[in-house]
Amino acid sequence: AQSVTQLDSHVSVSEGTPVLLRCNYSSSYSPSLFWYVQHPNKGLQLLLKYTSAATLVKGINGFEAEFKKSETSFHLTKPSAHMSDAAEYFCVVSDRDYGGATNKLIFGTGTLLAVQP
């Protein structure tokens, strides 16, 4: 069964320093992987997605993630944190079935990112 593990429930960084949010996945077939962000009292917003094209995926707001099959990882990074990046981040996996259609999304438990001035 597919699953996703976010290794850190809380991450705190200083403004201007790099961000690393870790995610490992387990999937039977070729997965689609996503990162979503949820700001306080706001809806979920798609940051970026991997769907078997380039392994380094660039998303919005300067975030990117690299799909590493050998490590079953899809870590989210950003070179320089901004105060507005403070939010909760969810790593999500979605398997494809034999027919190629994507099945349900499986969410990680989330990582709360705090950005200190």
- The sign of the dihedral angle between the CA atoms of 28, 111, 88, 57 is negative
Please tell me whether residue 46 binds another protein under the rule CB under 8 A: yes
- The sign of the dihedral angle between the CA atoms of 91, 96, 102, 106 is negative
Q: What backbone torsions phi and psi does residue 85 show, to the nearest 5 degrees?
A: -80, -10
Please tell me whether residue 44 binds another protein under the rule CB under 8 A: yes
Buried/exposed code over 68-93 (b: 16+ C-beta within 10 A; e: otherwise): eeeeebbbbebeebeeebbbbbbbbb
Please tell me whether residue 105 binds another protein under the rule CB under 8 A: yes
Please tell me whether residue 31 binds another protein under the rule CB under 8 A: no
Of 11, 23, 106, 113, the residue at the interface with another protein (CB under 8 A) is: 106
Binding track over 53-82 against another protein, x by CB under 8 A: ------------------------------
Of 24, 27, 73, 94, the residue at the interface with another protein (CB under 8 A) is: 94
Please tell me whether residue 40 binds another protein under the rule CB under 8 A: no
Question: Under DSSP, is residue 39 helix (H, G, I), strand (E, B) or coil?
Answer: coil
Residue ranges in contact with another protein by CB under 8 A: 32, 34, 36, 42-46, 49, 51, 90, 94, 96, 100-110
